[in-house]
Structure 1
Amino acid sequence: MRKVTTPVITIIVIAICLFLAGCSQAQNKSDPAAAATSTDLLKANWDEVASQAKGQTVNMYMWGGSESINRYMDEWVAPRLKEDYEVTLHRAPVNDINDTVNKLLAEKQVNKKEGSVDLIWINGENFKNAKEQDLLWGSFDKQLPNFNQYIDANAPDIKDDFGLPTEGLEAPWGKAQFVFIYDSNKIKTPPTSLAQLADWVKQNPGKFTYPAPPDFTGSAFIRQALYETTGGYQQYMKPLDADSLTPKLSPLWNYLNSMETSLWREGKTYPESLAKLDQLYANGEVWMTMGYDPARASNEIKKGTFPASTRTFVLEAGTLANTHYLSIPFNSTHQAGAMVAINFMLSPEAQIAKFDPLNWGEDMSLDLEKLSPEDQRLVSEIDRGIATLPAGELASHRLPELPSAYVDVLDNGWLEYVAK
């Protein structure tokens, strides 16, 4: 047999490679979806993104503690996303999105390039940690047609997340405001300040509590108390200086400790989540609950979970308000599908449906003035429920959130000076 020399082998290999490359190029020219796979999605046009997204399954990690939110995602968003865009949305519920951030961090540390998290519901301290650890994919918001058309990108409560610039790493999904929920049959005149709340707690022992930080709602209650017990929020709208902050916190810890023995179970234990607190309220063990969703009380009344006498209130000095976002992790394997899902959830159709308490009842992230007259009419006609405060009253009582660096300091302080 004739021996084949090395130069001949080299020529054959090169010829095969050129042939395969030509086939690949021809295939990409005839298949836009295949071509899009090699395109930088952060620069691609929207048709390329939508084409690549078809057939993808997007794993969305999100807090799963609300039945109405879960139903909106599973029964309203997912079917339409599947039918209109051929994208399957899989909701992955978690108790605390911080667990998902830690999961991403662990994957980053072992250089896992193909993760299981494609889309994440995030804001505040979790966004800060994800951004600082480089756990998010890239600046994608300007790629979304609905973001460009309907969002006021320069609004302070959009471009900054708990004082931290978003820089396009997340897209605003909705707005929330802290409200207190109470049974009007048992509480004829709800307190209008935290000082009045403390008096009420002492006069009605065992009928009030709050979730233990770092639960998201419990942490928010602590921040709310910080503002009113230490002279207002303005002094905290700057980067954290831990040394100067510590002396300011004594009135906060004193306030919380002053009513601790009058709390549910004498403050010896706290509900570990908002869901647990809601259950205590629904059972009549406590007479108040709380949360970031102004329409949630109305939703729970309609479901029969909360008594029909349930109402909500805000404090005269105002309550915390913020925007929450959707983001794409650094190692998402379905970025195109995630972008299409986010863009759909920012559409007027999806946002107006979310605004309706029959679905969720949460405030929209869209700029109302950017909507069509017909969509503005639809928004104005939605009945948000008997327990939902008027939009004007909520808006006039909005207070900005602390910069996210403060959150861990306060949560850890509560563990040290209150829980112990």
Structure 2
Amino acid sequence: MAEFTRRQFLGMAGALGLGAASLGFFGCGSNAASSSTTASSSSASEAAPSFDPSDWDSVLEAAKGTTVTYIGYGQTAAYNDYFNNVFAPTIKEKYDLDFEYVQVENTADIITLWLDEKQAGLGEGEGTTDTGWVSGPYYADSKDSGILWGDYLQYLPNMKYYKKDVAGVATSDGLPINGTMSLFASAFETFIYDSDKIDEADVPHNAQELLEYAKANPGRVTYPALPDYHGSYAARALIMDICGSDVFANMPEDITAEEMKEQLADGFEYLRELNPYLWNEGKTYPTTYSDWVTMFADGSTDFIYGDAWVQSIIEAGSVPATTESIAWEHTITTPHFLTIPWDCPNLAGALVMCNEFLDIQSMCDRGVTGYPPATECMDLSKLDDEQKKALEECEAEYGMNSPSLEELAEVAVADIPAWTKPIFEELWLTEVSGKTN
């Protein structure tokens, strides 16, 4: 099992002019337009048999003895440990499938690589990676660029455990997925507090309660300046709580800044009312999320906003051991996905990996990374007793100090559509930052 740093891999990708075969990858054909297409998978030692993606037994046979190359975010020890010591041995034992892990510093680098390969003229089967991690915001950059293989979701047997018409399966950031991505995990964005300093009864559960808390405790609340990733999440969670969880979802793709400003007027008024009671009277904001976490850890602010399962950041020593998260009435969930690029050299291996990621036990295994299983997307009535027990054990081991999976699923709301985010973040700068009513 090989690991590459971002520098090493981009250097390898830069050698594309030498041809894909010179990089040690051997092509396979694919055709996403037809469900009866035959394709070929590859192994470094010999050519693999052709297979029909709709015949899962033939997919498994074609993947056997090959290597699947995955490209993903590799900057956390939990992720690296999971892929190297849990996932890789699992697919080797279950499918005789070897695993190569290409680590990047930023998930945007994944889309950049595939776009570069597309521009370089690589064809089907001539790429350097078989599957990769794509978070919702980057799907908008890839869906119309021709870099995705196509509708492979229809071929994955483990899709039987999931609802077909929910965000995270049917859509990502308001955009239809059309079967081109499969679930990696879900991130539930919640407010986080230190139970050693604040009684649970005093913790705000909605925007109005947060305003009341801030007025009673001036300077104890803040959030990073937009467009910081988590600062933006916190601001739009407050807006959605004031204006309704569907306010963004109903916005057309051609909405103007003035139209959005009008529709979010109550939300912006709320944020301006909150400003004077924030840290530094809302005149400045933490610059980054890490700054915010540091302020929380040293007691300078009472709340942060982030992933619901806080055990991983507790164990990392980033926050106090008494840190807990709460589920608001509107809790934004942001699915993360695997996808297959159009030029994957091992389509069979990619399909097997994506299907394995949908396996309930595999979802539970990834609890070690801090991401809960995507129960809001599951059809729990389809799970057997063993699978339900796996979810319970996962929650007990990794979901400490956090809302239950059932509670998170009940309050989960989809994130705002991709096309609204840049406009919203610009409006925050002009309508909220440093301003009062």
TM-score, normalised with respect to structure 2? 0.75
In the other structure, the counterpart of 2:387 is 375
Distance 2:128 2:354 in 1: 17
Distance 1:86 1:312 in 2: 38
Is 2:416 the partner of 1:413?
no
CA apart distance, 1:168: 0.9
Tell me the amino acid that sits aligned with residue 351 of structure 1.
Answer: M
**CA-based RMSD:** 3.3
Post-superposition Cα deviations, 1:144-170, rounded to whole Å, max 9, x if no partner, equal 2222x4333344552222332211101
Post-superposition Cα deviations, 1:230-265, rounded to whole Å, max 9, x if no partner, equal x21234333334133232234434443444465456
The 3 A distance-change label for structure 1 pair 171 and 57 is closer
Is 2:245 the partner of 1:233?
yes
In the other structure, the counterpart of 1:326 is 338
Distance 1:33 1:151 in 2: 36
Tell me the amino acid that sits aligned with residue 141 of structure 1.
Answer: L
In the other structure, the counterpart of 1:9 is none
In the other structure, the counterpart of 2:62 is 51
In the other structure, the counterpart of 1:78 is 88
Distance 1:331 1:302 in 2: 39
Match for residue 177 of structure 2 among 158, 166, 169: 166
Match for residue 277 of structure 1 among 268, 285, 292: 292
Post-superposition Cα deviations, 1:13-55, rounded to whole Å, max 9, x if no partner, equal xxxxxxxxxxxxxxx9xx996253xx47645644345534633
CA apart distance, 1:387: 0.9
Match for residue 351 of structure 2 among 336, 339, 343: 339
Distance 1:131 1:313 in 2: 34
Q: Is this contact kept in 1: 2:223–2:285, CA < 8 A?
A: no
Distance 1:404 1:397 in 2: 21
The 3 A distance-change label for structure 1 pair 118 and 67 is same
Is 2:410 the partner of 1:396?
yes
Distance 1:260 1:99 in 2: 36
Matches within 5 A, 1:18-417: 34=47, 36=49, 39=50, 42=53, 45-48=56-59, 50-52=61-63, 54-62=65-73, 64=74, 66-84=76-94, 85-95=96-106, 97-113=107-123, 114-147=126-159, 149-155=160-166, 157-188=168-199, 189-201=202-214, 203-229=216-242, 231-238=243-250, 239-243=252-256, 244-260=259-275, 263-264=278-279, 267-273=283-289, 275-291=290-306, 293-295=307-309, 297-315=310-328, 317-355=329-367, 358=368, 360-364=370-374, 366-382=378-394, 383=396, 384-417=398-431
CA apart distance, 1:77: 1.3
- Runs (5+) with no aligned partner, structure 1: 1-27
Q: Is this contact kept in 1: 2:59–2:352, CA < 8 A?
A: no
Between the aligned residues of both structures, percent identity stands at: 26
Q: Larger Rg: 1 or 2?
A: 1
CA apart distance, 1:376: 1.7
Moved over 6 A (4+): none
Number of residues paired by the alignment?
379
Distance 1:74 1:260 in 2: 45
CA apart distance, 1:333: 3.2
Distance 2:296 2:61 in 1: 45
Post-superposition Cα deviations, 1:163-201, rounded to whole Å, max 9, x if no partner, equal 322111011222332211101222231112223323434
Distance 1:419 1:103 in 2: 35
The 3 A distance-change label for structure 1 pair 361 and 124 is closer
Q: Is this contact kept in 1: 2:72–2:102, CA < 8 A?
A: yes
The 3 A distance-change label for structure 1 pair 98 and 142 is same
Partner SS, residue 376 of structure 1: helix
- Runs (5+) with no aligned partner, structure 2: 1-39
Distance 2:165 2:285 in 1: 43
The 3 A distance-change label for structure 1 pair 380 and 35 is closer
Partner SS, residue 169 of structure 2: helix
Distance 1:70 1:262 in 2: 41
Post-superposition Cα deviations, 1:50-96, rounded to whole Å, max 9, x if no partner, equal 5346332413223x56543443233321232344433213052433x
